[in-house]
Structure 1
Amino acid sequence: MHVAQIPLPTYNQVTKHNLALMQPMIIQLIKQATFIALDAEFTGLGPKVAATRTADIQERYQHMCALAKSHALVAFGLSIFIKTEPASESKSMDGTAATGGEVNDRERGYKVHNFNFSMLSETDYAVSPRSMIFLAENGLDLNQWIMEGIPYTGGDRLVNEGGRGNPNGIMRSIFKRIMSRQVPVAVHNGFLDLVFLYHSFYASLPPKLSTFVADLSDMFPGGLFDTKYVSDYMTRERSSFLAYLFRKYERDDSRAREETDPSSTQVYSTFHIQPRLGLPAIQQKPISETSSSDPQLAYCEDYAFHGVCKKNMWCGKSHDLDLILDAEEQRRDSKRRKTQKRSQDAQDAEKVAEPGNAQNNVSDNVSETKMPTPSLSTEETTELSMQSSVGTTKATARAAKAPENVVQPGEKFHSAYFDAFMTGTIFSHQLNQHTPEEVESQAKNKVYLIGKSIPLIIEKSAFAKFSLEHERSRAL
């Protein structure tokens, strides 16, 4: 049976420009989640890929830790699935009406919100050319990643969380909200993803695997579910790579949706992909506030004095030389006018003090206070003011780019958001196949291990302890 392929789902592109505005909406949606799916994309697998597949699991974990510390996240995918009540009208995955009629108890409907976070590490890291080419071929806009990526620093929370409103702190806050929800968190072949996410958004990686596992068991109270483990060891699929399972289960759901036999009990899922979230408009300062009240607020003083700014793209102030020169000329002109006015006032005072000029004092003072004495002509002053205002407006627009929530062209499979979405839809199908109770009893906190016939059990051993950083986090 041929099933038409659905278009790529709508998603929210999250960058450093709109992260703060989207944070409260993301947190509100996390509070409503029935389950959550995660995915991570990074800058490579290191020079020795085989080291992350070594037979000894402790040694494998140590190689993964070294990889997470030497490389960096490129993107973080988050899909939030919110269960809806059965509808009187069944819908296909693209949201179009399929059949009408009474309430369908076999349908499991979900509203889905997808987020793609562009991440840019603030520390030095290694890059695999092959990995970056792969990501670029699958939709990663390298220019957008470099210019708009969310700056973050992995490791110790107390050192790297930053202040309120700091992008690093915001990302850690969002990750903490995911952890605090007692709902299933789905990954696909997610051991390495969990290592990267732990290091990037939570804490320094502990040296022992048993400590890392103990922390994970406490961080995700709703349980971790690896869809690759379920497909290999519960469903026994012929193949279990992500795109294969997604397409296969999409076809299965489509067949079940079109089933007309009233005795059929096959449960299926429908996904109502939500439109992009609308962002509030930014209140821009009036031109007069930025151009005349204090011109130094508009440009970077470090760059003006030294030609270099340590903050680079994260400065937030303009490096526009024309704006800097305009502001300096304005300042010089203002000083010259003040000096001339003081000089003129002194001359007026002398005239008042001269004998025989008493009758003209009043009229002279009124005349002098009404007539300005600029160093430039009126036309020149007006033109300079207009040029400065235009320069300030342009520079401010460049320095404080308006937040966007748009999808860039060229999106393909293996974007972080789409892998997270596929993982979530696969997990929902597995819940229908095996019932939620069966999946929880057989697959909760079992993460797939490449080359092993047993999973990594996410459970605190009686002989293991939580890491010190996790203990601090629990105490908060």
Structure 2
Amino acid sequence: MTNFDRIPIVDVHIDNFRESWPALILAIKSAGFIALDLELSGLGRRNMLQAKSVDDRYKGIAECARTRAILSLGISCFQPVKNKTKDLVENDKGQQIAGKCYLVQTFNIMLLCSEDYVVEPASLRFLVDHGFDFNKQYSSGIPYYRGNDKGNDKDYLSVRQLLVELIMANTPIVLHNGLVDLMFLYQNLYANIPTSMSTFLADLSEMFLEGIYDTKYITDFAHRMTASYLEYVFKKCLRENTSGHLANIELQFLNYPESSRHVTYRQCAARPQPTLQQNQDCVEHIQVLKEVVCENYAGHGWCSKGNKCPKSHDLDLILDLDHLQETKKSRKRKRRRNRQKDDTSVDDNITMETDETSSNTETTYFEYAENVSQMAPQCKDDKSLPSSDGCQGINSSVNSSKCQSEKSNVIFSGGHRAGFDAFMTGYIMATYFATYDANGDNASGLSEFKNKIYLSGKDYPLQVMKSGFAKTSKEHSEKIMKIRTSSDH
């Protein structure tokens, strides 16, 4: 069973960069895989991100990477450690599955580009809504420059050197919907991004020798959930790990001193999913939740109305709705099977078990509906447990057709978005490693997804590889040779 309800995140900025450096490097070198996430000053015209031609899409993102900047970098390092319990755990179906345990260290690194860059109002509004502190970024961001290395740059304590350390670690890199982040990392912290996409992909294949994994691609093309945006997939995996539906994941964290000023904690405990009693009808409850939940946010993780949306963006309610809809479909399938087995008419009032895997500890939906407002996260101003706002819920009579949003309706709001997003990405990857890994060595079970990057609107991935028609860029070839040479010493 998943064994955590909050995670520590180390806030790294100009004032503590030097003292945080040894811990950062040790975490990177010890990791079995590393998850990354970026917060950016803008993404340019949305139509370029969705261009039909992948080459046109690349050119549009490349131009954004040259003119926009990275505001914060999230790094979450997952180090495999020996499971303190047992190697095999029994899930709710009685199957023996491999449990995995990781020591996780997560960092949120505040950056400040030293060159002029474009800032988009929509991006700023989004970040402010999620608690990003621009005053802190401008006063304490770690400076960096874009493009190629400068000849007089000998500072080993820099975010550009941090990317070099990631390359030298020879560890799988994990992102969620990672094309934009990879292109921004390259242009902002590595070298001038190539004009040709094939050259860029060839460069990437030499930078990260153990491969790049995109959890959005795996979710859409293998794991197949109702939605695939980051928060949804994370909370879905968290629920399924907690209930025993998926292979067991256990996490360990360092015990930071209470006096540590640069460590904050993010609350992310899984809320139990509601379970209907055997003969309860779920149609009414589905209808109530449909009236409560924002349909656009539920499907895509985004709503044009933002915090002004009158409906709920509470992911727990969204997952509850999905669970009940899946239950309804399961009942229909079971009725159909029963009809096929028996030529006689089937009693309309036949009772069927809604959730064959539910335990006695799970709540019924009526109990859940009466208590959802108490279970939903409340707004608190607490450094150790940052605010985690939620929906007010459905009232006890289950007659409510509206659910007013709190000031911020997004469950995972807060100033450490890049760091926490990196952790969520890593947790999803750990879940997939445990689910698909037959040999116990992580990467083998997901080898078919190695170096395949999600492409929005396409039924195929972007493959990170060096083709027979593409050469690596001159800047990359010179730089990677220096990196490999220095790592050999």
| Alignment TM-score, normalising by the size of structure 2 | 0.62
Residue 65 (str. 1) matches residue 62 (str. 2): yes
Residue 22 (str. 1) matches residue 20 (str. 2): yes
Aligned to 1:156: 148
In 2, the alpha carbon distance for the partners of 1:82 and 1:106 equals 17
Shift of residue 139, structure 1, vs aligned partner: 2.1
Shift of residue 244, structure 1, vs aligned partner: 0.7
Contact 2:216–2:454 (CA<8 Å) still a contact in 1? Answer: yes
Q: CA separation of 1:408/1:248 partners in 2, compared to 1, >3 Å: closer, same or farther?
A: closer
Aligned to 2:115, the other structure's residue is in SS state coil
Contact 2:69–2:118 (CA<8 Å) still a contact in 1? Answer: yes
Contact 1:11–1:275 (CA<8 Å) still a contact in 2? Answer: no
Aligned equivalent of 2:202, options 214, 220, 230: 214
Counterpart code for 1:451: G
Counterpart code for 1:20: R
Aligned to 1:234, the other structure's residue is in SS state helix
Aligned to 1:129: 121
Where does 1:285-364 land on structure 2 (aligned, <5 Å)? none
Counterpart code for 1:10: P
In 1, the alpha carbon distance for the partners of 2:444 and 2:99 equals 19
Shift of residue 164, structure 1, vs aligned partner: 2.3
Contact 1:12–1:114 (CA<8 Å) still a contact in 2? Answer: yes
Residue 240 (str. 1) matches residue 228 (str. 2): yes
Shift of residue 409, structure 1, vs aligned partner: 5.4
Shift of residue 8, structure 1, vs aligned partner: 4.7
Where does 1:166-315 land on structure 2 (aligned, <5 Å)? 170-256=158-244, 267-276=247-256
**Alpha-carbon RMSD:** 2.7
Residue 109 (str. 1) matches residue 106 (str. 2): no
Counterpart code for 2:77: I
Q: Deviations over 1:311-349 (max 9, x none)?
A: xxxxxxxxxxxxxxxxxxxxxxxxxxxxxxxxxxxxxxx
Larger radius of gyration: 1
Q: Number of aligned residue pairs: give it.
A: 324
Shift of residue 438, structure 1, vs aligned partner: 5.5
Counterpart code for 2:218: V
In 2, the alpha carbon distance for the partners of 1:209 and 1:407 equals 44
In 1, the alpha carbon distance for the partners of 2:2 and 2:168 equals 38
In 2, the alpha carbon distance for the partners of 1:149 and 1:202 equals 18
Contact 1:181–1:222 (CA<8 Å) still a contact in 2? Answer: no
Contact 2:453–2:463 (CA<8 Å) still a contact in 1? Answer: yes
Aligned to 1:470: 476
Aligned to 2:419: 417
Counterpart code for 1:229: Y
Shift of residue 105, structure 1, vs aligned partner: 7.3
Q: CA separation of 1:278/1:153 partners in 2, compared to 1, >3 Å: closer, same or farther?
A: farther
Contact 1:77–1:117 (CA<8 Å) still a contact in 2? Answer: yes
In 2, the alpha carbon distance for the partners of 1:4 and 1:425 equals 11
Q: CA separation of 1:416/1:461 partners in 2, compared to 1, >3 Å: closer, same or farther?
A: same
Aligned to 1:369: none
Counterpart code for 1:57: V
Counterpart code for 1:128: E
Aligned to 1:464, the other structure's residue is in SS state coil
The runs of 5 or more residues in structure 2 that have no matched partner are: 88-95, 262-382, 389-411, 483-489
Contact 2:114–2:144 (CA<8 Å) still a contact in 1? Answer: yes
Shift of residue 200, structure 1, vs aligned partner: 1.3
Counterpart code for 1:44: G
Counterpart code for 1:156: N
Contact 2:172–2:212 (CA<8 Å) still a contact in 1? Answer: yes
Counterpart code for 2:68: H
Moved more, 269-278 or 437-446: 269-278
Contact 1:12–1:276 (CA<8 Å) still a contact in 2? Answer: no
Aligned to 1:434: 436
In 2, the alpha carbon distance for the partners of 1:455 and 1:30 equals 27
In 1, the alpha carbon distance for the partners of 2:135 and 2:386 equals 13
Contact 1:139–1:410 (CA<8 Å) still a contact in 2? Answer: no
| Alignment TM-score, normalising by the size of structure 1 | 0.64
Moved more, 434-443 or 121-130: 434-443
Contact 1:11–1:407 (CA<8 Å) still a contact in 2? Answer: no
Aligned to 1:76: 73
Aligned equivalent of 2:455, options 428, 446, 449: 449
The runs of 5 or more residues in structure 1 that have no matched partner are: 91-103, 260-265, 282-405
Contact 2:3–2:251 (CA<8 Å) still a contact in 1? Answer: no
Aligned to 1:139, the other structure's residue is in SS state coil
Shift of residue 56, structure 1, vs aligned partner: 1.0
Shift of residue 107, structure 1, vs aligned partner: 2.1
Q: CA separation of 1:207/1:241 partners in 2, compared to 1, >3 Å: closer, same or farther?
A: same
Q: CA separation of 1:70/1:279 partners in 2, compared to 1, >3 Å: closer, same or farther?
A: farther
Aligned to 2:36: 38
Identity of aligned residues (%): 33
Q: CA separation of 1:447/1:63 partners in 2, compared to 1, >3 Å: closer, same or farther?
A: same
In 2, the alpha carbon distance for the partners of 1:86 and 1:12 equals 25
Aligned to 2:53: 56
Contact 2:75–2:422 (CA<8 Å) still a contact in 1? Answer: yes
Residue 12 (str. 1) matches residue 47 (str. 2): no
The structure whose residues are more often helix, as a share, is 1
Shift of residue 228, structure 1, vs aligned partner: 0.4
In 2, the alpha carbon distance for the partners of 1:464 and 1:233 equals 28
Contact 2:97–2:248 (CA<8 Å) still a contact in 1? Answer: no
Counterpart code for 2:249: S
